Structure 1
């Protein structure tokens, strides 16, 4: 059973995706959840606190997906699993994916940046570590691990942006096959 706080965050996600940060209000969230506006303030001090919680939940969920890649037994298997987990997150957690990677309102990002900077940097750090492992064991060419990780993340994120925004279509299995082929082409230029 979903608790009150979870209902509030879910409603805030929905409103944020439709109307952006400026369109999100405690009153709208209250109306969507059938909770009084006063009751929402028992859980969140203000709109900014609620917005930060939406982002925090998104980053935490994304991180939990990436952590699943650590079961790989080699550096390259962990990198491959991270790419798969990124796909799974984008498909299974489409709302959070859109909020974190497609629609974050940059006019309020400065308010959020300080509070959530560590959370926001986790996925990047995770990918840099995977790339560094692959370079260290010789399965990837020596290069700047930060730039290679950003290249991988940017390419994958670009694919998801097209997929989530329906600019490319197909079943989940078809999209996963396309994604895998694209990822393999990219890796071909990075691997030894």
Structure 2
């Protein structure tokens, strides 16, 4: 096998996921798209679950890289809102990848195999933690457990996004953005100084 075959396999699986959803990602279909035999794919990924973990890890890496390039805002509230808007943009633009990121354990992190959201492994939580921590240091937010406040914020957003993705809210994307902004305002009023 040529070097980089595993990367090509993961890239093709990612493209299939984004275009058609998780059910479209079969070992046979990915192997055919990459130009290898269906049995050869197993030299790189022992099963479909391992392949989906690789796709999820690539997604987390891409999200972390994308957020790492953003210039930070000097106002902690504005930075937090900008971070959450970036999460919302990602979730609405790539709903299938977003769903996979939160459904498939990454194989890194805690003992159960998933990402430990209290660690620095989650680019989403890390960005929210930074904004909340800065806001608490500046007196914009009430002093509290930074990790727990950030987790509450991310959990609210993730819950709303999951409900929107499954059609439980019956809102258009623009209406959903308004709901997220309102929900976040309500939450932040609860932690505001």
Q: TM-score, normalised by structure 2?
A: 0.76
| Residue equivalent to 2:3 | none
- The residue correspondences of 1:3-42 to structure 2 (distance < 5 A) are 4-5=8-9, 6-11=11-16, 17-18=22-23, 25-31=26-32, 33=33, 35=35, 36-37=37-38, 40=41
- Structure 1 residue 59, shift from structure 2 partner: 0.7
5+ residue gaps in structure 1?
none
- What CA distance in whole angstroms lies between the structure 1 residues aligned with 2:56 and 2:18? 9
Q: CA RMSD in A?
A: 3.0
Matched position secondary structure for 2:107: helix
| Residue equivalent to 1:46 | 46
Kept in 1, the 8 Å contact 2:67–2:123? The answer is: no
| Residue equivalent to 1:122 | 123
Matched position secondary structure for 2:108: helix
Query: What is the aligned length?
Result: 178
5+ residue gaps in structure 2?
1-6
Q: TM-score, normalised by structure 1?
A: 0.76
- Structure 1 residue 56, shift from structure 2 partner: 1.2
Larger helix share, 1 or 2:
1
Kept in 1, the 8 Å contact 2:18–2:94? The answer is: no
- Structure 1 residue 80, shift from structure 2 partner: 1.0
Spell out, residue by residue over 1:65-120, the C-alpha distance to the aligned partner (whole angstroms, 9 max, x if none): 5446543222221111011111111101111110112x32xxxx4x8135875784
Matched position secondary structure for 2:123: helix
- What CA distance in whole angstroms lies between the structure 2 residues aligned with 1:150 and 1:39? 41
| Residue equivalent to 1:186 | 187
1:80 aligns to 2:78 (yes or no):
no
Name which structure has the greater RCO, CA cutoff 8 Å, separation 6+: 1
Q: Closer, same or farther in 2 for the Cα pair 1:145/1:34, shift >3 Å?
A: closer
Kept in 2, the 8 Å contact 1:159–1:179? The answer is: yes
